[in-house]
A and B are shown apart, each in its own frame.
Chain A
Amino acid sequence: MKQPVEYLNNDTTPCLKCENHAILIARTDYYCKDCFIRFVRGKQRKQMVSEQYRAKFGIQAEKYGIQKVLLAFSGGITSMVLLDILSDLLLEQQKTHKGVTGFNLIIVNIDEFEIFLLNKKIQDIIPNLIQKYNGISIEFKVLSLDSFINEESLYKISLNDEFKSFFKEYNQDITILDILNQTINKSSAEDLLNIIYKNLLLEVAYVENCQTIVLGHSMTRIANEIVALTVKGRGSEIHESIKDHTEIYKNHEIKIMYPLRDVLYAEIIEYGKLADLYQFTIESTIKKSKISKNLTIRDLISNYFTQLTETGYASTASTVVKTGEKLGKSKEKKLGNCKVCNEEIYKNPSTWLKTITVNEPASIETEEELEYNKLYKESTQEEELKLGNPLELCYGCIITLGGFKQTDSGLLWPLKSEEKQLNYIYENDEVEKQHILDEYTL
């Protein structure tokens, strides 16, 4: 079956753009190494073509001020490729505009070393990256995942039989890893991590005065996200979360962009190989299970897309992305916002679930049945479990909450998300120097 990117063997066909020999075919066109890299870079430039990201002078420079772009950097191949592309853009701007660039780049990594058992620490590869892109100044920050929780603001959230959610205060030392380990469903943990990442990135962007956050999502990944959101009952969020859009966070407008949205994952991998970026990437040492029961929703869907490519339905990813882009706000009436993920709620999820999932028993009829029922009541000695005050949650979060054992733990979560103290594990010298200068220079 035809692959999205195919290498040529000793072929003398010329490259589409120059006279060199082509080395690969991508999207039916022949490319040499440099032109393929240029082709992928072009995709990013097309997305970030706005004046905002160009080198500006005079009135324009005044109008836009210093533009700061936050790159969400996991150390995986896609964010590595995006870093490479953006640094190339900055270098080119510097050269052509005598040192002036269109924006400052802040690279933020949320530390996943423990949670995904990574093979390298991000701090160890940063010096290499700084050396590789030494022509431009880049700020690197590694943020602790636990910045998301603040001991004072933790609450215990639980669900009752009627799918209604409640919260009560909970004061104990706990880490994100502890919280996620309490789930009995891997997909629930995945869903919560998504919420944490989004929130932390917005917080950093807000604190650092970044106007834009860029993410390395490829077209394949966005397609995956669309299907995953549908599967998680978060269909009403699709239109917002996969388009380039603006979030209002603490009264600040922050633009969220996916500059690689036109690039297939397979093309990113080839870019990574051709630009020799794999030496810097970080991977998880957890091996993905072969049994689908041990996978998460996202894993299953990415396997599905890979399998589709192999069976000749390779265009599905682009179809899905185009479909997702045509979606809009739900036509249902908005009821409020979810207290866990902050997304909008439309149809009342607990009423909806209650109507279609009845939890009432058939009547007890015989003597024997009555006796058993008595026995049960005696054995449990039901003490009225006080669940706390009612809490408004969206459907997706109710389902995620269902992945936690309700009786003893429930979900521990910070509800007052404003009180966040960002805890950086690492900041590069440049940044540290600036901090010292800011503090001590008169």
Chain B
Amino acid sequence: MPEIIQKKLKVSALCELCHARKAVMKRPKNLMKLCKECFYNVFETEIHNTIVSNNLFSPGDKIAIGASGGKDSTVLASVLKTLNERYNYGLHLVLLSIDEGIVGYRDDSLATVKRNQKQYNMPLEIVSYKDLYNWSMDEIVSCAGIRSSCTYCGVLRRQALDRGAEKLGINHVVTGHNADDVAETVLMNILRGDINRLESSTRILTDSDNSPVKRSKPFKYTYQKEIVLYAHYKKLDYFSTECTYAPEAFRGTARELLKGLESIRPSCIMDIIYSGEHLSLAPKKKKQTVAYKNKKRIEQEINQDGSVKLDTKPKTNKCEKCGYLSSNKICKACVLLQGLELNRAKVSLDSNSAIDGAAKLSKTLEGLSF
């Protein structure tokens, strides 16, 4: 490459880490000027550090990657594959996709996942809402309206991911949630006063009682912008359209705020996560109640044979309807679906295409111009 040698680089144009190659980008996290190689190195090493310091995996683990075909999950699959080989994690990686049934959005992104499957040489499992619940998201939206779409989709997806993982005999799903998502959630929980989630919002590994499958976010400390840059430079194949159904209005305001804050202090995403890791609730003050003298005693039932009846009420942690693990009698998904069932149209037109991609239509209309 004689031309490059002729045109000598200035020292100030060199990468600020290796001082040997030309800097091609400004790193969003700290605005450091880096070359591609150093960027790949810091990006991948940081994720490796996160995985190791939090003991996310152990050798021989079977891990499902929640793959939507979007940039986060595509980069996650690519990086995990790279790290698994480089550091000998000994992981068995599988792609797990959920087909919510959103025409014009999910069908296209699933095509991307299928290509990824070949590119990364990983098995792929697709679980669809229609098969699981007999409802596609398009049908739900046409029945319940667009405003609550994210509520339904969120609850159903959580269960669908669990079921998909169980089907594959896997008890650990990794998702592409990034630092921006985590920071946004911390802010949201404060703004909405969601006390119950405040302490756990920054947890990297969630392990809840009513789910046999644990989840983790290896991208917890990874900036969204860096994921985009990584995907761009590595020329990864991803699907870049947002879900066609409207995003939650209030979350939108929090996202705007975060963007503004990031523009004045790029580290603020990390800062919020650091804060989030320290938030904890004050111990509740016990209310002093007057102890009544003639307080009613707890009644004890005696069986016919004179024995004492024990509290035989089993601690059900299974949904009575679908048999899935749940802390309530009926799981949240079944409650939502029950409500939907009541409103389902009794008669429907044959091949009613108005339902399919209800949001896609409005998106297409928005794009029209005269």
- Nearest B residue (CB) for A185: B265
**Chain B positions within 8 Å of A326 at CB level:** 195, 281-282
| B244-288 at interface with A (beta carbon < 8 Å) | 250, 253, 256-257, 260-261, 263-265, 267-268, 270-272, 274-283
**Chain A positions within 8 Å of B282 at CB level:** 239, 326-329
Assembly CA distance A235 to B276 (angstroms) = 7
- Nearest A residue (CB) for B275: A235
B42-54, CB under 8 A of A: which get 1 and which 0? 1001100110010
Contact A395–B274 (Cβ < 8 Å): yes
Contact A330–B46 (Cβ < 8 Å): no
Q: Does B190 contact A (CB under 8 A)?
A: yes
A229-271, CB under 8 A of B: which get 1 and which 0? 1111111101100000000000000000000000000000000
B35-76, CB under 8 A of A: which get 1 and which 0? 101101110011001100100000000000000000000000
| Interchain residue pairs with CB less than 8 A apart (29) | A230-B276, A231-B271, A231-B272, A233-B271, A316-B191, A320-B193, A323-B195, A324-B190, A326-B195, A327-B280, A328-B280, A331-B280, A347-B274, A355-B46, A355-B50, A355-B53, A357-B30, A357-B46, A358-B45, A361-B20, A362-B38, A362-B41, A369-B18, A369-B21, A372-B14, A372-B19, A375-B11, A376-B20, A377-B19
Contact A359–B17 (Cβ < 8 Å): yes
| A109-147 at interface with B (beta carbon < 8 Å) | none
Contact B191–A319 (Cβ < 8 Å): yes
Contact B18–A361 (Cβ < 8 Å): yes
Residue of A187, A235, A358 near B274 (CB, 8 A) is: A235
Contact B277–A347 (Cβ < 8 Å): yes
Q: Does B110 contact A (CB under 8 A)?
A: no
**Chain B positions within 8 Å of A330 at CB level:** 278-280
Count residues of chain A with CB under 8 A from any CB of chain B. 69
Q: Does B15 contact A (CB under 8 A)?
A: yes
| A24-59 at interface with B (beta carbon < 8 Å) | none
Instruction: Give chain B nearest CB distance to A320 CB in angstroms.
Output: 6
Assembly CA distance A369 to B261 (angstroms) = 37
Q: Does A85 contact B (CB under 8 A)?
A: no
Assembly CA distance A158 to B23 (angstroms) = 26
Q: Does A402 contact B (CB under 8 A)?
A: yes
Instruction: Give chain B nearest CB distance to A410 CB in angstroms.
Output: 18
**Chain B positions within 8 Å of A295 at CB level:** 260, 264
Q: Does A71 contact B (CB under 8 A)?
A: no
Contact B265–A308 (Cβ < 8 Å): no
Contact A360–B275 (Cβ < 8 Å): no
Q: Does A379 contact B (CB under 8 A)?
A: yes
Assembly CA distance A293 to B266 (angstroms) = 11
Contact A233–B274 (Cβ < 8 Å): yes
Instruction: Give chain B nearest CB distance to A333 CB in angstroms.
Output: 12
Q: A355-B50, A357-B46 are in contact. Are A233 and B272 (CB under 8 A)?
A: yes
Interface range for B: 35 or more
**Chain B positions within 8 Å of A370 at CB level:** 20
Q: Does A94 contact B (CB under 8 A)?
A: no
**Chain A positions within 8 Å of B261 at CB level:** 231, 297, 300
Contact B20–A369 (Cβ < 8 Å): yes
Instruction: Give chain B nearest CB distance to A439 CB in angstroms.
Output: 48
Contact A360–B42 (Cβ < 8 Å): yes
Q: Does B221 contact A (CB under 8 A)?
A: yes
Contact A376–B42 (Cβ < 8 Å): no
Q: Does B310 contact A (CB under 8 A)?
A: no
Q: Does B102 contact A (CB under 8 A)?
A: no
Contact A230–B190 (Cβ < 8 Å): yes
Contact B42–A359 (Cβ < 8 Å): yes
Contact B275–A229 (Cβ < 8 Å): yes
Assembly CA distance A311 to B254 (angstroms) = 13
Contact A357–B38 (Cβ < 8 Å): no
Q: Does B192 contact A (CB under 8 A)?
A: yes
Q: A187-B264, A328-B280, A369-B20 are in contact. List 15 more A-B contacts (CB 8 A).
A: A186-B264, A230-B190, A230-B272, A230-B276, A232-B275, A235-B277, A320-B190, A327-B282, A347-B277, A355-B49, A356-B270, A361-B19, A364-B18, A377-B19, A395-B274
Assembly CA distance A308 to B187 (angstroms) = 14
Contact B268–A231 (Cβ < 8 Å): yes
Q: Does A368 contact B (CB under 8 A)?
A: yes
Residue of A227, A239, A349, A402 near B187 (CB, 8 A) is: A227
**Chain A positions within 8 Å of B189 at CB level:** 323
Q: A227-B191, A230-B190, A311-B253 are in contact. Are A297 and B49 (CB under 8 A)?
A: no
Contact A232–B271 (Cβ < 8 Å): yes
Contact B40–A362 (Cβ < 8 Å): yes
Q: Does B5 contact A (CB under 8 A)?
A: yes
Q: Does B132 contact A (CB under 8 A)?
A: no
The 4 closest A-B pairs by CB, nearest first: A235-B275, A328-B282, A233-B271, A361-B18
**Chain A positions within 8 Å of B260 at CB level:** 292, 295, 300, 304
Contact B264–A304 (Cβ < 8 Å): no
Instruction: Give chain A nearest CB distance to B177 CB in angstroms.
Output: 15
Contact A307–B20 (Cβ < 8 Å): no
Q: A229-B275, A372-B9 are in contact. Are A402 and B20 (CB under 8 A)?
A: no
Contact B264–A297 (Cβ < 8 Å): yes
Instruction: Give chain B nearest CB distance to A317 CB in angstroms.
Output: 10
Instruction: Give chain A nearest CB distance to B233 CB in angstroms.
Output: 13
Q: Does B214 contact A (CB under 8 A)?
A: no
Contact B264–A296 (Cβ < 8 Å): yes
Q: Does A373 contact B (CB under 8 A)?
A: yes
Contact B11–A379 (Cβ < 8 Å): yes
Assembly CA distance A236 to B268 (angstroms) = 15
Q: Does B77 contact A (CB under 8 A)?
A: no
Contact B276–A360 (Cβ < 8 Å): no
Q: A185-B265, A360-B42 are in contact. Are A353 and B270 (CB under 8 A)?
A: yes
Q: Does B157 contact A (CB under 8 A)?
A: no
- Nearest A residue (CB) for B15: A361
Q: Does A100 contact B (CB under 8 A)?
A: no
Q: Does A424 contact B (CB under 8 A)?
A: no
Instruction: Give chain A nearest CB distance to B306 CB in angstroms.
Output: 49
Q: Does B331 contact A (CB under 8 A)?
A: no
- Nearest A residue (CB) for B50: A356
Contact B190–A323 (Cβ < 8 Å): yes
Q: A230-B272, A311-B253, A313-B250 are in contact. Are A300 and B37 (CB under 8 A)?
A: no
Q: Does A179 contact B (CB under 8 A)?
A: no
**Chain B positions within 8 Å of A226 at CB level:** 190
Instruction: Give chain A nearest CB distance to B191 CB in angstroms.
Output: 6
Contact A304–B193 (Cβ < 8 Å): no
**Chain B positions within 8 Å of A353 at CB level:** 270
A179-190, CB under 8 A of B: which get 1 and which 0? 000000111000
Contact B5–A368 (Cβ < 8 Å): yes
Q: Does A399 contact B (CB under 8 A)?
A: yes
Q: Does B227 contact A (CB under 8 A)?
A: no
Q: Does B198 contact A (CB under 8 A)?
A: yes
Q: Does B29 contact A (CB under 8 A)?
A: yes
Contact B272–A357 (Cβ < 8 Å): no
Contact B264–A293 (Cβ < 8 Å): yes
